[in-house]
Structure 1
Amino acid sequence: MRLEPISWERLTDTLADRIDGLKAEDGSAWLRVAVDGAPAAGTADLAGRLADALRVRGRSPLVVGTQGFLRPASLRFEYGHRDADSYYDGWFDTGALWREVFGPLDPGGTGRVLPDLWDAAADRATRSAYAELPPGGVLLLHGPLLLGKWFPFDLTVHLRLGPAALRRRTVDDEQWTLPAFARYDDEVAPADAADVLVRADDPRHPAWNGGA
């Protein structure tokens, strides 16, 4: 696949323009955008940049991170604290994401989205207030392992790190998760599945597929 160099600023503006011109495929009043990638890839940074760019365009964005939808420790650590298969299959509460994030944004939904559910450090519910996303608003959901779950995204962006870059940029305490991302590449092939692929091995010099 041919990739072209691009700056983060130009990438952000180009993606924001594309989002601004989209309509939800299922007729929803809201758009749902994925910014997918390993924690080391910086999905939160790109989601934040996109939110700022969309506000300039008169849109109402809501940034939600999957880190706020982890399952309780008793479930995450059932097979140990460093089990890569558990991380892949059981760390993120996909049921809660369907119920609290995607359900309210279905056609005819309320637009009342829960921005986070679980405080992993305290291992208890966050009790956060619901966020009201007005019609025309844009959900920007960022985090790892988002594709291949049938979430109703209108646009998917995958920030890819090659194996060497992923290993180099992943902190020591999270190196055990690397087999989960190798499995993700094998089973989901996010670089092929995403609408937009961004190669971010060198964070100073990203490259992308042009949104093809």
Structure 2
Amino acid sequence: MELFLQYVGENWQDLLVLTYQHILMVVSGLALAFAVGVPLGTLAARGPRLAGVILTSANIIQVFPSMALLVLLMILFGLGNGTVIIGLFLYSLLPVIRNTYVGLTQVNPAITEAGRGVGMSPLQLLVSVQLPLALPFILTGIRIAAVIAIGVATIAPLIGGQGLGREIYSGINMDNPARLYAGAIPAAVLALLADYGLSRLRRSTRTAGRA
């Protein structure tokens, strides 16, 4: 522990940079997954056939081991953070799509009919009624995706990426526990903070929806 604290004290600026890089990769991957996953989840909620195709395709991506997927992406896109972000995007898709789909299918049909009764168009119903009611489910998907992405991002250095994984792998290769912990502990804290923060946000949206 003493060596770990000493290492952190001497290298805290570098660790902050690596933490920022780690967060940036995860947020970029999640933003892409949100932008693509919510529309796909919305399409899936429109009918069983579309749901089967979309959810099965997302499941196939999730089945790939993270290391194997990143290596395949490295072959296609080369080394670097961009390839890592694409991998995080693909790994985050399933939770976002599935929870958007579940949230929209759980909307009370009576509420939808009431919206139609007052003259709302399908787009107005979706934006003003259905998606707000499905928001707690969507946030659950983002929370799951965020925790997964933070963990997967730790192997980014193996394909030329940055982030806290650099300290983890440097610690392993140099047999230096202080460096390993300096990467692993902040990554674990990030996962816990993401889980806690998004859980709180989900609860607040559910409470607001009941008010």
Q: Please, what TM-score do these two structures have when normalized by structure 1?
A: 0.29
More relative contact order in 1 or in 2 (CA 8 Å, sep 6+)?
A: 1
Structure with larger Rg: 2
Query: Which structure carries more helix by proportion?
Result: 2
Q: Please, what TM-score do these two structures have when normalized by structure 2?
A: 0.29
